[in-house]
DNA sequence: GACTTCCTGTAGCACTTGCTACATACCTGA
DNA sequence: TCAGGTATGTAGCAAGTGCTACAGGAAGTC
């Protein structure tokens, strides 16, 4: 739509490819065919640009979850979510960037801390909706969504590239743990 | 022992307090009562300093796990581990720094990627040992340790400061999921 | 034609980064 | 006594950081 929106999408592509932590305006601008001067002009500051990029990235990855077909059980839902994470480069990269942003916001630094809070709230809601579609009750869904999200992020953190088998094993363990018949209360 | 070791410990304190991501030599050196010049002299490069700091931090936090008394069940072990994480500032800060290093190493950047791999291997071994002390079989322990580690890291990532109750809820969910009687095979 | 508003290029500022060159001590062993 | 390794201070370099000042072009409005 606006020029700013175009820049946001292009900057998001760049950030997804090159990472968020070392991001600096001049190389980014060069790849977008513009200048740091223009980025500041359109966004006001680097922080606002970063916030826009994080929001765009989150929006992109949520679309993939929303598009998933329901699963037959909770455990199968966990495996299906993991498959979505790993099969789509886009989702994987968005998740990686989320992890970077979260790390940058660990000590409360802005705009990362606020962006992460906002993104996470939406993300949990998206996961919850998928779980509900898969038969999980509305009361249990958010809690389980949080557990799944935390575990997946942790897996991404520890095994960024290699060890795909080991990552899968962890997810499998979580899935089977969650799929056991519910004995206790909630 | 050597001057380098002293500097490593002091630099670790500083990094645990101020974070790893924005770490730069001059402010660090100022707080240690020395100069960037001297840090480079003793460590050779910033990368080697960072590697030393990460190793020191990991060693510190593992000591806390090694000191834990065995738990009565797997679920109780999970809760006890989480208690250790949250009750000791040292452990919490070490974990936070691990997360920062992992984020920095996400795209393979050194020395973070290598340090994380090494730290994680030792950390999983430490967790496994604790689980075995708590009655988990030696074959299952490493897998479960990976699952617990991933989940805890994910929780730290999403809820750095606030939401202690929600964090606890996630851990509780994991604990009860793992504590259900084993029906399937392994 | 004058005026405003949006957009963009050039140049630069003040600052920080990791790291180095150079000189100078100090202590130790021959 | 003197050589040699260890340690430290001063100064600086080349590169990069976010951001700004200033000027100007393009396009529409009165």
What is the reported pLDDT for B126? 97
pLDDT at residue number A185 = 35
Contact B103 A103 (CB under 8 A): yes
Burial class of residue B173, CB neighbours in 10 A (0-12, 13-18, 19+): buried
| Residue given tokens 């001067």 in the structure block | A37
Q: Is there a domain that residue A7 lies in?
A: no
What residue spans of A23-135 are helical by DSSP H? 25-31, 36-43, 46-66, 74-87, 89-104, 112-133
Taking an 8 Å cut-off on Cβ atoms, the answer to whether A21 and B19 are in contact is no
The CATH number assigned to the domain holding B43 equals 1.10.357.10
- Residue B17: count other Cβ atoms within 10 Å of its Cβ: 11
- C-alpha A121/C-alpha B146 separation (Å) is 26
- Provide the whole-model pTM: 0.92
| Pick from B21, B143, B150: CB nearest A21 | B21
Q: How far is B3 from chain A (nearest CA, A)?
A: 30
Q: Within an 8 Å CB–CB cutoff, is residue A118 touching chain B? A: no
> What pLDDT is recorded for position A160?
62
Domain count, chain A: 1
Is A157 in contact with B103 (Cβ distance < 8 A)?
Answer: yes
* Torsion, CA A130, CA A135, CA A140, CA A145, rounded to 10: -30
Q: Is the CB of A24 under 7 A from strand D?
A: yes
In a domain, A77, yes or no: yes
Rounded Cα distance, A149 and A123, in Å: 9
In angstroms, the CA A15 to CA A18 distance is 5
CB crowding B69-80: b at 16 or more within 10 Å, else e: eebeebbebbbb
Choose the weakest-confidence range: A1-10, A21-30, A135-144, B28-37: A1-10
Picking from B182, B158, B98, the residue whose alpha carbon sits closest to that of residue A145 is: B158
pLDDT tens for B64-110 read 999 999 999 999 999 999 999 999 999 999 999 999 999 999 999 99
- Whether A173 is in a domain gets the answer yes
Residue A184 reports pLDDT greater than 90: no
C-beta atoms of B158 and A107 within 8 A:
no
Copy the structure tokens of residue A134: 């898969």
The answer to whether residue B27 sits within a structural domain is: yes
* Residue B186 is assigned to a structural domain of this protein: no
The tokens 């010049």 sit on which residue? B37
Q: Give which of B146, B164, B178 to mutate to test A binding, by max A Cβ within 10 Å.
A: B146
B185 located within any domain: no
d(CA B56, CA B4): 12
A178 neighbourhood in chain B, CB within 8 Å: 177
Question: Model confidence at B26, in pLDDT bands (50, 70, 90)?
Answer: very high
Q: Give the model's pLDDT for residue A162.
A: 66
Tell me the residue range of the domain where A128 lies.
54-179
For residue B4, the SS3 value is: helix
Closest approach of chain A CAs to the CA of B160, in angstroms? 6
CA distance linking residue A97 with residue B103, whole number of Å: 9
User: What are A10-15's contacts with CB under 8 Å, separation 24+?
Assistant: A11/A39, A11/A49, A11/A52, A11/A53, A12/A53, A12/A56, A12/A57, A12/A60, A15/A53, A15/A57, A15/A97
| B157 occurs within a structural domain | yes
Measured CA B103 to C1' D6 distance, in angstroms: 38
User: Which range in A65-69, A166-170, B165-169 is most confidently predicted, on average pLDDT?
Assistant: A65-69
Q: Does B120 touch chain A (CB under 8 A)?
A: yes
Q: What is the largest CA-CA distance in chain B?
A: 61
The pLDDT tens digits of the residues spanning B103-154 come to 999 999 999 999 999 999 999 999 999 999 999 999 999 999 999 999 999 9
Paired tokens of B161? 């400061």
Q: Is B184 part of a structural domain of the chain?
A: no
pLDDT, residue A181, reads 59
Q: Which residues of A touch B177 (CB under 8 A)?
A: 147, 174, 177-178, 180
B23 touches strand C (CB under 7 A): yes
| pLDDT at site B160 | 62
- Tens of pLDDT, residue by residue over A31-87, are 999 999 999 999 999 999 999 999 999 999 999 999 999 999 999 999 999 999 999
- The answer to whether strand D lies under 7 Å from the CB of residue B40 is no
Interval A89-130: pLDDT, tens: 999 999 999 999 999 999 999 999 999 999 999 999 999 999
A106–B contact, CB cutoff 8 A: yes
**Interaxial angle between packed helices B141-158 and B112-133, expressed in degrees from 0 to 180 and rounded to the nearest 10:** 120
């Amino acid at each position: 739509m606006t020029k700013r929106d175009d820049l946001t999408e292009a900057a998001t592509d760049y950030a997804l490819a090159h990472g968020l932590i070392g991001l600096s305006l001049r190389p980014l601008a060069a790849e977008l065919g513009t200048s740091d001067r223009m980025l500041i002009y359109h966004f006001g500051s680097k922080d606002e640009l970063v916030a826009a990029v994080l929001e765009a990235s989150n929006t992109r990855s949520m679309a993939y979850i929303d598009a998933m077909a329901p699963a037959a059980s909770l455990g199968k839902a966990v495996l299906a979510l993991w498959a979505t994470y790993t099969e789509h480069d886009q989702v994987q990269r968005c998740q990686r960037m989320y992890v970077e942003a979260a790390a940058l916001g660990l000590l409360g630094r802005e705009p990362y801390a606020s962006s992460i809070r906002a993104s996470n709230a939406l993300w949990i809601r998206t996961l919850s909706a998928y779980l509900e579609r898969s038969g999980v009750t509305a009361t249990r869904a958010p809690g389980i969504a949080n557990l799944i999200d935390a575990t997946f992020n942790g897996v991404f953190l520890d095994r960024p590239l290699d060890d795909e088998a080991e990552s899968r094993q962890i997810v499998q363990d979580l899935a089977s743990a969650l799929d056991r018949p519910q004995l206790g209360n909630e």
